[in-house]
Each structure stands twice: as structure tokens, then as C-alpha cells.
Structure 1
């Protein structure tokens, strides 16, 4: 039963990251056909933004080495299909296939920037500058991912003003929206509210912000609720709770899309997502991966959604 709470948005856009962020860590190779069907099933469940893949060097993320083969298999879907592009070469590859939404990647901390891209924070921003400029010149929507917004495994708690500086820099480059990443899952609701307030005070509008929480300490939904109370309406999640960051020690999986939808549905917030179809999709993918889904909602509802299950 839906019991709305005051001060929350009427609708939330879920930015589904399962096919990219969710599968990039898998030890076994996921066939391209399975990835493509995953995207199609997610779209059929009502998700309207599905991050399809990443145009990175195959040596960095071998699981996504099939981006050129995958993207044409899903590009006909009537949903937004953003792709990650770490540099100009990645942008060229994405644009050549008709991608209209791309994302660049930055870090709020020097340690993670060094570990992830072997560059300083400012060098990563400099690398992103021509990517964003060229994408915007062609009318392509650009998202800026910012990792380590709350804590870093090497540096500990990350000062709010440090995060604000990099966020402001990404927007100044031309990013249309930012995704605030709790890469190792250490955020708590007060910290979330403090960061969002500080960003607003520095001229970053709430409608340009999305949140991306990991559930290391079981705080992802609590942090999401804090963001919703602040007015955020874009939330990243991964079907079945798949994935995490391959460079972040101690990070657990992303917030499960099903767990997010269950909470939002209970609050009377519209997502456009059919929870039964989504649960069935995550069960299907879990079967392909050979392990149960970590999503609590998938585990709770999985045996009661038979009508949507593939026999």
C-alpha cells in the first residue's frame, strides 16, 4: 500500500546502470547476446534510462570490450541509452554508432584519480574537457560521474568543499547533469544533505544532480530518501544489485533497482517501472551469472512473480 510522505517528488527517474556498472566486474565473460537481452528486458520493465556499455580500452574493462557489437543490438529501443566515454577515442567510437547520451568520469580525490586513471584530479578534468566540448557541439547530452564524494579508501572522509569544487568544474566544462557517487558506500543521510546544500550554495541546481549510492553499510536507501527530501529526482540503481567499482576496495554492490522501486512505490512516487517484470529480469540475469541476486526485494518477491518468469 502506498502511503505518501510530505515533501517528496511525485516522480523519480531511475538511471539504470546494471548493463554497464553492474556487469563490468563479472569474472566470467557475459555473452553479448545476453547483455543485449538484459537491456531489452529492462526496457520492457519500464526503465527509460539504461546505461548500455562503456567505450573504454578493452584492457581496462575486458567485460565491456564488445561495446561496438552490443550497442547496435539495443540502439533501436525507445529509451535513453547513455554510454561511458573516458576520452576522445571513446567518444569517437560512441558517436560513430549514433550514441546521443554519453558520460565522463572524474574523482573527488587525488588517490582514486591516480588509482583509476593514473592522473591527478585536474588532469582528469583536463582530459574530459575536449570530450565534453565535442559532445555538446554535436548536441549530445553529457553526464559527469564523480566518484568518492563521501569517502575514499585511502584518504578517509572527503571534505564537502573538495567535492563541490570538482562538481563545479564538471558543470563549467559543460556537463548537463552530475551523478554523485558514494563509491565505497560510507555516506549517511546527514552527510548527503550537507553535500547537496553546499552544492546549491555554490550555484549547482538540484535538478542537475543525481545520486549513486552503494550499500556497503546498508545505508543506500536511507541516503536516497535524504536526497529525495532535498528535491533530487534522479537516482542511479542496478537491477538485482549487480556491480560496484572494480577499483574501490571494500565496495559492495550498487543499490538494487528493485529495492529502490519498492520504496518509491510505497511512498506513492511514480517511476513507470513494472516491479514484477523487473524482478523477473533480475532473476533471469542471476541465472545466467550462476548465483542468486543480492537484492532483498528480488529474494522476497521472486517466488511470487511466476506470471512473468521465463519457463
Structure 2
């Protein structure tokens, strides 16, 4: 039954991250043909933004060493965007050579994670991103920025909102069109999410330029998403079947499952354009190839 709530958008854009953020945590290499079919099935279920892969060095993420091969195997639907993660100018070169029109850069709100993930300070990482964004925009590419650890950091603890705002505004000043706020270890709660979005608005980054990326480590991803929607956000990152995990938090259950998000939004009367049953079938198909059941509660319920 659809029962709308006041204060929510009429439509939400789901930014699907399963093929990149979800699969990159898998130790067993998934065949290119399966990855390409996964992307095609996601598009067939109605998802219109699918982050497909990453041009990081294969040594750091072996699962994504086949980026060029995968992009060659994917039949790109003109109605679908296929962004890729680009860490530096070399990654941008590879993206341009493969006809990519949307990219994402991945920063951190904390110094410790910046050093562990990028081997740079926050300041050095911003300096690395600047020429990437400049060149990408000059080539007509759409650029998304990610800021991770916006609610908490496993080494530094709670992350002050003003610290997140400082990094976030600087990333947007580089020329990003959209900024995704990542609760990388899933420790955030709705009040914290609302306060962060309000602080960013006060600093000149409105909710219309934001996306949210919640992990479900403590079961707060849907609650945090609802808080973000009430604060004006209309773009939500999610991963089909809940693929992906967090190596920095014990018992992390990974990304917000796309199916769980769609079920909630359908019930609220918020349009997504996603066929939930086709999406759940896709996640069961991928789970069979990975050799384990999907952690998504909705995928499990629809299979009964």
C-alpha cells in the first residue's frame, strides 16, 4: 500500500553502485561476462545511473583490473549513465580513451582514511583532484565527488560536522556537479545526517547538489536516507542486493540494498522508475554466482 508522507520529493534518482563499490570487495574475481550481464540486467530493471567500474591501479583493487575489457563488453544504453571512479589524471586518460562521459573522484573527510586510501593527506588529495576535474570539465564530462567518513572514522572516532563541511565545500569548489556524502562505516543516525545537510546548505552547498551513500552496519541506512530526503536530497546511492562491505568496521553489512530502498520509496509513493521484481531477480542471479545469499531483506522476502 502506498501511503505518502509530507515533505518528501516526488521522485528519487537511485545511483546504483553495485558493479563498482559492491563487487570491488569480492575476493574471487567475477568474470567479465558476468559483470557485463549484471550491468545490463540493472539497466533492464530501470536503473538509469550505474557506476560500472574504477580506473584504479589493479594492484590496489584486483577485482577491477578488467575495467577496459568490461566497458568494451557493456552495450551502453543511451538512456543510462555509466560513471566510473577516477583517482588521478592517469585514470582520467583511461576514462577518456574508453568514451566515458561521467566520472567520480573519491576524497575523505579525515586525514587517517585519506592516507590509508589515497596515500596522501586531505590537502594533497585535493591538489591531486584539481587537474582531474579541470580537464574533465574541459572535455565536457560530468563530475561527481565523494566524501567518505562523513559521520565517523574507525581510527579518529566521531568526525566534526565542520570538518566535513570544510572538505566538502573545497571539493565542490574544484568544479564537481554533485557531491555524495559517504557514511563509510555506517555509524550515522538521522539527527546527524540532518545537521550535516543543513550545515552544508548554510555553507553554500544545497541539497539539490548532494547525494547520500549510507552503509548499514548498525541498521541505520534507511532511517538516514529518509532523513536526507526530508532535508531535500533527491539522489541516493545503493547497491543491488546489498553487495559490498566495509573492511574498517566489524560486522559491517555493506551498502544500502537497492531493493530495500525501492520497497520503502514505493510505499511512500516516491517514484524511482525501478522494477523491483526484476531488480530482485538480478540480485538473486548475482548472489548465485557469488555463492551466497543476498543480505537484502527485500530480496529474501520476495524469494519466499
Name the TM-score class by shorter chain.
over 0.9
Given the superposition, is the C-alpha separation of residues 68 and 107 from structure 1 closer, same or farther in structure 2, using an over 3 Å criterion?
Answer: same
SS state at 2:182 partner: strand
Q: Which residue of 1 aligns with 2:262?
A: 261
For structure 2, list consecutive stretches of 5 or more residues without a partner in the other structure: none
Residues 1:46 and 2:46 are matched in the alignment: yes
Give how far 1:72 is off: 1.9
CA distance in 1, matches of 2:119, 2:56: 15
Q: Which residue of 2 aligns with 1:74?
A: 74
- Which 10-residue stretch deviates more, 75-84 or 166-175? 75-84
1:75, distance to aligned residue in structure 2 (A): 4.9
How many aligned residue pairs are there?
302
The residue that corresponds to 1:4 in the other structure is: 4
State the Cα distance separating 1:27 from its structure 2 match.
1.1
1:140-163 per-residue CA deviation (whole Å, 9 max, x = no partner) reads 000001100000000000000000
- 1:144-192 Cα shifts (integer Å, max 9, x gaps): 0110000000000000000000110011000000000000000000000
SS in 2 for 1:47: coil
C-alpha distance in structure 1 between counterparts of 2:141 and 2:116, whole Å: 29
| Superimposed CA distance per residue, residues 57-93 of structure 1 (whole angstroms, 9 cap, x where no aligned partner) | 0001000000000012225223000000000000000
The aligned counterpart of 1:130 is 131
Q: Match of 1:240, SS?
A: helix
* d(CA) in 2 for partners of 1:245, 1:167: 22
Partner SS, residue 25 of structure 2: coil
1:239 is displaced (CA, Å) by 0.1
Structure 2 counterpart of 1:139: 140
Q: Counterpart of 1:69 in 2: which secondary structure?
A: helix
Match of 1:197 in 2: 198
| Deviations 1:187-207 (CA, angstroms, capped at 9, x unpaired) | 000000000000000000111
How far apart, in 2, do the equivalents of 1:256 and 1:50 lie? 14
SS in 2 for 1:170: helix
Q: State how far apart, in whole Å, the 2-side matches of 1:107 and 1:18 are.
A: 21
CA contact (8 A) 2:241 2:257 kept: yes
TM-score, length-scaled by structure 1 = 0.96
1:90 has 2:97 as partner? no
Structure 1, gaps ≥5 residues long: 304-311
CA distance in 1, matches of 2:87, 2:249: 21
What CA distance in whole angstroms lies between the structure 2 residues aligned with 1:48 and 1:71? 16
> Following the alignment from structure 1 to structure 2, what is the Cα–Cα distance between the partners of residues 299 and 5?
26
Q: Which residue matches 2:31?
A: 31
Q: Contact 2:40–2:75 at 8 Å: present in 1 too?
A: no
Q: List aligned pairs for 1:156-171, cutoff 5 A.
A: 156-171=157-172
> Residues 108-158 of structure 1, C-alpha deviation per residue, up to 9 Å, x if partnerless?
000100111111001011110110000000110000011000000000000
Q: Is the 8 A contact 1:75 1:81 kept in 2?
A: no
The yes-or-no answer on 1:17 pairing with 2:14 is no
CA RMSD of the aligned region, Å?
0.8
Contact 1:214 1:254 in 2 (8 A): yes
* Alignment TM-score, normalising by the size of structure 2: 0.98
**Does the aligned pair in 1 maintain the 2:21–2:244 contact within 8 Å?**
yes
Q: Are residues 1:207 and 2:177 paired?
A: no
